[in-house]
Amino acid sequence: MNAAVSDAVQEYRQDGDIAALLDRMKVLSSAADPLALAAAAAPFHDLPEVVIPAYERIVAARPSDAQAMVILANAYWLTGRGADLVGALATRAMAADAGNRGAWHLWALSESNPRARMERWGQVADRFPADQLARAALADNAAGVAGAEHDPLALDLAVRTYEGLWAEASRDEERRALEETIAKLKGWAL
């Protein structure tokens, strides 16, 4: 399986024929053992053309495999397959494994309404308080809501969250960037 997937990718890199790669991956995936297919696709997680057909098969064969759902949802997101599809897959992954941060991130990211997305990032940050990426997304989304809706509570949330990230920052350039952001937000007149 590994050699067949590698050969398909190598051929794609030479000829650039995405349709041929997708067709070949669908054929390879259709009869493959899900675990062997995951191992063969692993070196190519940066290629949605490999990931999507492989992980559609894996998720179909292993419907409780949260990590497989997250990998597939991420590939869908990267290729613009739509927030509804990504959100549904992320929700299934969260139900299968409530501790899978990737599922929670994709669930929050897939929300199209800015305020609801901010609230989802708040839930992710509450569930995983050490997750700086979730807290940065919460702060960014809160700042967006504050600016768009002239919401002082969202502005306060953004400032407090950025201040918390500043307190944890270990690199000078991080601290400077956060200081600039905090200063700008504190200067907003809503």
Encoded tokens for 56: 């559609």
The 10 Å Cβ neighbour count of residue 34 is: 18
Give the domain ranges of the chain. Answer: 111-190
Contact at 8 Å (CB) between 57 and 80?
no
Contact at 8 Å (CB) between 66 and 89?
no
d(CA 29, CA 183): 52
d(CA 122, CA 165): 14
d(CA 92, CA 89): 5
Contact at 8 Å (CB) between 128 and 134?
yes
Encoded tokens for 120: 């989802």
Q: Determine the pLDDT at residue 1.
A: 87
Q: Determine the pLDDT at residue 111.
A: 97
- pTM metric for this prediction: 0.91
d(CA 120, CA 110): 10
Alpha-helix residue ranges (DSSP H) falling in the chain = 2-15, 18-30, 34-41, 48-61, 66-78, 83-96, 101-109, 114-127, 132-149, 152-168, 172-186
d(CA 132, CA 158): 14
d(CA 1, CA 134): 36
Q: Determine the pLDDT at residue 189.
A: 81
Per-block mean pLDDT, blocks of 10 residues, the chain (190 long): 93 94 94 94 95 97 97 97 96 98 98 98 98 98 97 98 97 97 92
Q: Determine the pLDDT at residue 190.
A: 73
